[in-house]
Amino acid sequence: MATNWFDRNLKWIYTLPAVLFVLLMMVFPIVYTVRISFFEWSMSATTPPKWVGLANYIALLKDARFWHAVNATFYFTVLALVLETVLGVAIAMLLYREFRGKNIVKTLFLLPMVATPVAMGLVWLLIYEPSIGVANMMLKSLGFKPLLWLASQSQVIPSLVIVDVWEWTPMIALIVMAGLSTLPSDPYEAADVDGATLWQKFTHITLPLLRPTIIVAVMLRLIDVLKTFDIIYSTTQGGPNLASETLNLYGYVLGFQYFKLGMASALLVLFFILVMGLTLALIFVRKRLEASM
Amino acid sequence: MNASMKRMAGIGLTAVMATGLLAGCATSKTPEAGQQGQGQAAAKPFEGKKLTLVTANHPWGEAIKPLLPQFEEKTGMKVEVQSFFEDQLTQKLTVQFTTGAATPDVFMYRPLQEGQLFFKNGWVEPLDDYTKKDASYDFADFSKSAVGSTTVGGKLAGIPIITEQEILYYRKDLLQQAGIAVPKTMDELVAAVKKLHDPGKEMYGFVARGQRSPLVTQVSSFLYSEGADFIQNDKATVNTPEAIKAFSTYADLLKNYGPPGVLNMSWPQAIGIFAQGKVAFYTDANSIYQNATDPAKSTIADKVGFAVFPGGKAGSKPYNITSWGLAMNAKSANKDAAWEFIKWATSKDIVLATQQKGNPGARLSVWDKPEGVTGFPADLVPVIKESQKGGVDHDRPTVISVGEARDAVGAIVLKAMNGEDIKAAADTANKELQAIIDKDKGK
């Protein structure tokens, strides 16, 4: 009887640990965050959380700093994503050919990805130091004017994008290389017969065939770039003068520096909806593209 | 998915579970508390007790750890130490206290940053009565200003362990070459800065913190010396003419005579560029002097001079504060044992021992002893003693939401450096600061 029950419910029993894990580590925090976002709570033992309804959301939508953070987030994300995709595909094309030492080169390319982001942030902070940093020394030796990099309100986001591109372009290259290895060879043979140039083969055969792969790579990066925290926190902490304060950083400041837990949760809920929306949109685009092929 | 959201809730959850367990352990020990009274006379009154101590990764923590066996030997108590980075320390303590945990019994905290929040939430035990129990403890020996920093609403929230004053760092060699005397007033400083500023040769006149929130503590001495303050009688006063004069002096010095990139500088970057020999004058806390005088970190180690903060209209009024204090958890199950530890760690002997390792303490008697100042450069000692005499016991707005208040006030300097109207910036900041004060009062 007992074995029967066990057999009948096998599919539930084996998935139970996974279900519990998801409930405890993912569903519970999200539901709890949504709940807190309707309260005013300053992490105080003497004043319990107070129900304020949508007040946190309304306050955020009226908050100039919130919209500034939305802008900074998108500026950073779009710039990083475009550069990483273009460079990533280019590197993948370069590395896809056979040459001596290919494996060593591939390994070297992956190194930035495995470095600890905070340690890397600190290294880049030194590189970007306007008076004694390596970045300006190189610019000067090439005859260019030195820049302020992270210390300038207009240069800070592009400077941070460079760090992100340095760290994460290899990931796109890696995914695209995997995609390249699955491409069929007959279209290329046909193109050779027709006398197509290398560039024509790339734009008319490789890119269209790679499109689903690239979209997957972009989607993975999109989610990660949107929530970039460690690089920014360890270099500028959102500065100078809030110029690099993205949504994630503002959420951290609201929660752990201002102790406005309700407002921080509301921000994260809005952010969550935004990320979900963008991801769903990309999945939709991908399906449309696949259907049209 | 949002990682930081998950992380936040995850931390909360594990903290709740962990502290629940710890609290269970601690409360199971309470029956022993009754024995403490008659145990005093015995050689080891706290035999078998366990005390948890949380420290920051700070030289004081490193100095106290090797001394702990002495204390354990004397009292029979076991001290368990945990150390955290500064920012993590605040977060850990906040989360842990929110859950009402009985541990840690004793912890290091930053009185001016967290004192109001911790005390008004009822997380720290007032220590006024404890300090009076034992005459040999000699609480009157602590510098008044240092005690002022750890006092919240007339109650003693913690015992000062590390004190700090803002001082002026300068380049002896440059001043000598140019025939300039060490500036004693703000006007003299500005004049000297202008004279030594030579960006073509990568020599800048002045450096200090330029990051929005970190700069607030260092601009405070400029404010006091002009006769201003952040808050007076529960009213925000960062837009008074005196305050605006102080903010604009600071902003002008940084903007016109600072090195490039000053907007992204907190103290590590600022003292770094000073130590690289590229700046003539630098104001910040005296506690970080080693970064300028240690030949391993500094190219100008033997050329650094120290001076008392230059005087403004109201004279020289640097902050003279407690940057770190030792406090007791209000929910601790072993309050007498916890006090025994605090008393020991802040006793004359131990303060002498930690001060000899370069940790500026708050006991005046230790500063007066020749062996009490061996941990500091000879020419820094008179500057410290002079700064301790006057001095203001806070270096930032004393409110519950210090982080928010600092961001509001720091914006004045940044807007001034961006060429915006400083009066308008100060008015905006004043309104924001007043709102924060009013919210505090409502609690």
Three-state SS at B56: strand
Q: Which range has the worst mean pLDDT, B27-31, B265-269, B362-366? A: B27-31
Pairing of strands B50-56, B159-171: unpaired
Give the closest of A131, A257, A272 to B403, CB-based: A257
Mean pLDDT score, A179-203: 89
- Residue A28 to chain B, least CA–CA distance (Å): 8
Check CB contact under 8 Å for A45 and B202. Answer: no
Closest residue in A to B279 (Cα) is A131
Q: Measured between beta carbons, which residues in chain A are less than 8 angstroms from residue B261?
A: 129-131, 148-152
Mean pLDDT score, B201-210: 94
Mean pLDDT score, A4-18: 86
- Residue B87 to chain A, least CA–CA distance (Å): 9
Q: Please tell me the predicted confidence (pLDDT) of residue B43.
A: 61
Rounded Cα gap, residues B284 and B265, in angstroms: 12
Give the closest of A47, A129, A272 to B261, CB-based: A129
Rounded Cα gap, residues B406 and B439, in angstroms: 16
Q: Please tell me the predicted confidence (pLDDT) of residue B193.
A: 96
Rounded Cα gap, residues B329 and B102, in angstroms: 7
When comparing pLDDT for A119 and A1, which is higher? A119
Chain A residues 119-158 within an 8 A CB cutoff of chain B: 129-132, 146, 148-153, 156
Confidence of residue A45 (pLDDT cuts 50, 70, 90): low
Indicate if the pLDDT at residue B3 is higher than 50.
no
- Residue A240 to chain B, least CA–CA distance (Å): 6
Give the closest of A29, A44, A258 to B403, CB-based: A258
Q: Please tell me the predicted confidence (pLDDT) of residue B25.
A: 40
Q: Is A101 left (phi over 0), alpha (psi -120 to 50) or beta?
A: left
Mean pLDDT score, B408-424: 94
Q: Please tell me the predicted confidence (pLDDT) of residue A2.
A: 59
Q: What is the pLDDT of residues B123-179, one digit of tens each?
A: 999 999 999 988 899 999 999 999 999 999 899 999 999 999 999 999 999 999 999
CB A36 within 8 A of CB A49: yes
- The per-residue pLDDT of chain B, averaged, comes to 88
Q: Which of B6, B434, B25, B442 is nearest to B231 (CA)?
A: B434
CA distances from A62 to A20, A56, A67, A272, B126 (A): 39, 10, 8, 19, 41
Chain B residues 257-276 within an 8 A CB cutoff of chain A: 259-265, 269, 273, 276
Q: Is A21 in CB contact (< 8 Å) with chain B?
A: no
Mean pLDDT score, B335-350: 94
CB B310 within 8 A of CB B186: yes
- The per-residue pLDDT of chain A, averaged, comes to 88
Rounded Cα gap, residues B131 and B342, in angstroms: 10
Confidence of residue B33 (pLDDT cuts 50, 70, 90): very low
Confidence of residue B290 (pLDDT cuts 50, 70, 90): confident
Check CB contact under 8 Å for A46 and B122. Answer: yes
Q: Sort B188 into a burial class: Cβ within 10 Å, 0-12 / 13-18 / 19+.
A: middle
Indicate if the pLDDT at residue B442 is higher than 90.
no
CA distances from B137 to A144, B130, B349 (A): 64, 10, 11
Q: Is B47 in CB contact (< 8 Å) with chain A?
A: no
Check CB contact under 8 Å for B94 and A259. Answer: yes
Closest residue in B to A241 (Cα) is B212
Indicate if the pLDDT at residue B242 is higher than 60.
yes
Pairing of strands B279-285, B204-207: parallel
Strand ranges for A31-81 from DSSP E: 39-40, 50-51
Check CB contact under 8 Å for B261 and A150. Answer: yes
Q: Is the ipTM of this complex over 0.95?
A: no
Indicate if the pLDDT at residue B40 is higher than 80.
no
Sign of CA dihedral B171, B176, B180, B182: positive
Q: Is A272 in CB contact (< 8 Å) with chain B?
A: yes
Give the closest of B6, B97, B414 to A45, CB-based: B97
Q: Is B123 in CB contact (< 8 Å) with chain A?
A: yes
Q: Please tell me the predicted confidence (pLDDT) of residue A248.
A: 93
Give the closest of A29, A229, A251 to B6, CB-based: A29
Pairing of strands B50-56, B106-109: parallel
Indicate if the pLDDT at residue B113 is higher than 60.
yes
Q: Testing the interface with B: which of A256, A267, A279 to mutate, by most B Cβ within 10 A? A: A256
Q: Which of A248, A273, A293, A263 is nearest to A57 (CA)?
A: A263
Q: B315 pairs with which residues across the strands?
A: B312
Q: Is A29 in CB contact (< 8 Å) with chain B?
A: yes
Q: What is the pLDDT of residues A54-63, one digit of tens each?
A: 999 999 999 9
Q: Please tell me the predicted confidence (pLDDT) of residue A9.
A: 84
Distance of alpha carbon A181 from the chain centroid: 25
Check CB contact under 8 Å for B414 and A47. Answer: no
Q: Is A47 in CB contact (< 8 Å) with chain B?
A: yes
Chain B residues 78-117 within an 8 A CB cutoff of chain A: 91, 94-95, 97-98, 100, 117
Q: What are phi and psi of B283, to 5 degrees?
A: -115, 135
Q: Testing the interface with B: which of A232, A257, A279 to mutate, by most B Cβ within 10 A? A: A257
Mean pLDDT score, A224-252: 91
Q: Please tell me the predicted confidence (pLDDT) of residue B21.
A: 39
Q: Please tell me the predicted confidence (pLDDT) of residue B287.
A: 85
Confidence of residue B254 (pLDDT cuts 50, 70, 90): very high
CA distances from B27 to B79, B327, B412 (A): 17, 20, 49
Q: Measured between beta carbons, which residues in chain A are less than 8 angstroms from residue B199?
A: none
Q: Is A49 in CB contact (< 8 Å) with chain B?
A: no
Q: What is residue A243's DSSP assignment?
A: T
Q: Measured between beta carbons, which residues in chain B are less than 8 angstroms from residue A271?
A: 2, 5
Q: B170 pairs with which residues across the strands?
A: B281, B305
**Exposure pattern of A227-262 as b/e (b: 16+ CB <10 Å)?**
bbbebbbbbbbbbbbbbbbbbbbbbbbbbbbbbbbb
Q: What is the pLDDT of residues B50-88, one digit of tens each?
A: 999 999 988 899 999 999 999 999 999 999 999 998 878
Give the closest of A47, A129, A251 to B4, CB-based: A251
User: How many CB atoms are located within 10 Å of the residue A195 CB?
Assistant: 7
Which residue reads 């695209």 in tokens?
A176
SS3 content of chain A, % helix, strand, coil (to 5): 75, 0, 25
Q: Is B211 in CB contact (< 8 Å) with chain A?
A: yes
- Residue A26 to chain B, least CA–CA distance (Å): 7
Check CB contact under 8 Å for B211 and A239. Answer: yes
Residues in chain A: 293
Sign of CA dihedral B364, B366, B368, B373: negative
Confidence of residue B27 (pLDDT cuts 50, 70, 90): very low
Give the closest of B5, B100, B265 to A45, CB-based: B100
Q: What is residue A145's DSSP assignment?
A: P
**Exposure pattern of A9-21 as b/e (b: 16+ CB <10 Å)?**
eeeeeeeeeeeee
- The residues near B144 (Cβ < 8 Å, ≥ 6 apart) are B393
Check CB contact under 8 Å for B212 and A239. Answer: yes
Q: What is the pLDDT of residues A122-137, one digit of tens each?
A: 899 889 988 888 999 9
**Which range, A122-126, A189-193, B31-35, B306-310, has the best average confidence (pLDDT)?**
B306-310
Q: Measured between beta carbons, which residues in chain B are less than 8 angstroms from residue A155?
A: none
- Residue B201 to chain A, least CA–CA distance (Å): 12
Give the closest of A240, A253, A275 to B264, CB-based: A240
Q: Which of B65, B160, B44 is nearest to B353 (CA)?
A: B65
% of chain B exceeding 70 in pLDDT: 90
Q: What is the pLDDT of residues A74-122, one digit of tens each?
A: 999 999 999 999 999 999 998 888 788 888 888 888 888 888 888 888 8
Q: Please tell me the predicted confidence (pLDDT) of residue A1.
A: 54
**Which residue type sits at B55?**
T
Q: Please tell me the predicted confidence (pLDDT) of residue B156.
A: 95
Sign of CA dihedral B105, B8, B266, B187: negative
- Residue A29 to chain B, least CA–CA distance (Å): 5
Indicate if the pLDDT at residue B371 is higher than 60.
yes
Q: Please tell me the predicted confidence (pLDDT) of residue B443.
A: 55
Three-state SS at B325: strand
Rounded Cα gap, residues B146 and B384, in angstroms: 13
CB A43 within 8 A of CB A261: yes
Q: Measured between beta carbons, which residues in chain B are less than 8 angstroms from residue A259?
A: 94, 117, 401, 403
Confidence of residue B45 (pLDDT cuts 50, 70, 90): confident
Q: Which pTM was predicted?
A: 0.83
CB B329 within 8 A of CB B124: yes
- Residue A131 to chain B, least CA–CA distance (Å): 7
Q: Is A212 in CB contact (< 8 Å) with chain B?
A: no
Give the closest of B100, B123, B263 to A239, CB-based: B263
A to B CB pairs, distance under 8 Å? 127
Q: Which of B243, B192, B198, B186 is nearest to B216 (CA)?
A: B243
Q: Testing the interface with A: which of B263, B412, B441 to mutate, by most A Cβ within 10 A? A: B263
Check CB contact under 8 Å for B120 and A46. Answer: yes
Q: B282 pairs with which residues across the strands?
A: B169, B207
Q: What are phi and psi of B54, to 5 degrees?
A: -115, 125
